[in-house]
Amino acid sequence: MTSALTPFTRLVLPLALAGLLSGCAQLQGLFDPEAESDEPEVAEPASAPAEPVADEPEGERLEISEIVQLLQEGQQDRARSALDRILADEPDNRAARNLREQLSGDPRVILGDDHFEHTVAPGETLAGLAREHLGDAYRFVILARYNDLARPDRLLVGQQLRIPRDTSGLRRDESALDDQLMALDPDAAPGVGEDGLRRALEADLAAERYGAALEVVERARQHPEARDEWAGWLDPLAREAAIGYWYQRGLEARSTGDTEGALEAFGEVLARDPQHATARRHHAELEEQRKESLHAEAIVRYRNQDLDAAIALWDEALAIDPEFEAARGYRLRALELQRRLDALGREDNRS
């Protein structure tokens, strides 16, 4: 006999069945993980937003010596960025500005198309050639671009280079010597490398820039090695620089009519090299002019009865040439006239 369902049972039974079916689905999920469940997925709690990744720290600012090394190795892009970083902080940094301008300008416009061919000799470097022909070792950068060289530090003996003939388009504010020494000898500490000093000195002598050469000599003399280890090459080059410097000074003084200055300069040359033929000839010609000038002035003083001054001038002329007969003769006359005048003066005093 079937029992009748009460109203309450009719209400609860569907809910129980629904719960049972739901529980079965959950149990099925436990025993069969691959079974799909109709239950909506529960979202996991949102994790905290990740912190933004910081930009890579800006590269460490390079020293000029390091940038020169990059340029020697042909790494122009890295060098350009490093130079821009320096100039952003120091717009007036002379060395950085010099190098940056060489990377920006058209080498044909700056150096001109007129050039001569140079054959690379053993031991030559592009920085040395730049100091010799362009007046600044730092200009190896634009000289490399002028010759389409990818690696300025890799010259080959016998290689042909274009060297501009006219450098009037170059700025005259040459780099400091310490900076140029870094370009001449990148492996050495700034201003200390023997190779850099020697290359700078040889380049200046080849270009007949004797004043600059003496500056290099002075810098080299500051190092203890100059007294012994470097003496073999430094002493003869220093002597050549001094002789060249004083010889140039002598020519300049003579061209402007400064006889005294020219005589002094050529005398300095002869003190270092008594066999210097052209300096000796200039010196002799100037001494001849000088003694004749002294003699002419002495005669004027003699005629004006300024005997003391006249005698002093003839003494100077005779110091130059003791055998100067005209000066000796006039001097004797002046002395005799002076003696007579003194005698007359004494007689007048007695009377």
Which 3 state secondary structure label does DSSP give 273? Answer: coil
Q: Provide the pLDDT for residue 29.
A: 38
Task: Tally the residues of the chain.
Answer: 351
> pLDDT tens-digit profile of 225-280?
998 999 999 999 999 999 999 999 999 999 999 999 999 999 999 999 999 999 99
Residue 345 is predicted with a pLDDT of: 77
User: How is 102-123 classified by DSSP, letter by letter?
Assistant: HHHS-HHHHH-S-EEEEEPPTT
How many CB atoms sit inside 10 A of residue 248's CB? 16
The band of 212, judged by pLDDT with boundaries at 50, 70 and 90, is: very high
* pLDDT at res. 76: 95
The DSSP 8-state label assigned to residue 150 in this structure reads S
Q: What is the pLDDT of residues 270-311, one digit of tens each?
A: 999 999 999 999 999 999 999 999 999 999 999 998 999 999
- Residue 47 burial (CB count, 10 A): 6
By three-state DSSP, how is residue 29 classified?
helix
For residues 214 and 221, the answer to whether their CB atoms sit within 8 Å is: no
Q: Tell me: pLDDT of 3 over 60.
A: no
Mean of pLDDT values over 68-91: 95
CB 99 within 8 A of CB 106: no
Query: 19 — alpha (psi -120 to 50), left (phi > 0) or beta?
Result: alpha
What pLDDT is recorded for position 59? 60
Over residues 142-162, the mean pLDDT reads 96
Q: Per residue in 121-142, pLDDT tens? A: 999 999 999 999 999 999 999 9
Band of residue 192 on the pLDDT scale cut at 50, 70, 90 = low
| Opening angle at CA 126, ends 120 and 130, nearest 5 | 110
pLDDT, one tens digit per residue, over 18-71 is 443 344 333 343 334 344 444 444 334 333 343 333 333 456 789 998 999 999
Q: Which of 335, 340, 298, 334 is nearest to 319 (CA)?
A: 298
The answer to whether residues 148 and 95 touch, using CB atoms and an 8 Å cutoff, is no
Distance CA 150, CA 168 (A): 26
Residue 271 contacts residue 280 (beta carbons within 8 Å): no
User: Which pLDDT score, from 0 to 100, does residue 344 have?
Assistant: 84
Positive or negative CA dihedral for 297, 303, 304, 305? positive
User: What's residue 40's pLDDT?
Assistant: 43
Alpha helix (H) residue ranges in 185-306 = 194-206, 210-221, 231-255, 259-272, 277-303
Beta bridge partners of 130: none
For position 190, what pLDDT does the model report? 60
Residue 60: its pLDDT value, please? Answer: 73
| Closest listed residue to residue 39, CA positions, set 51, 28, 27, 25 | 25
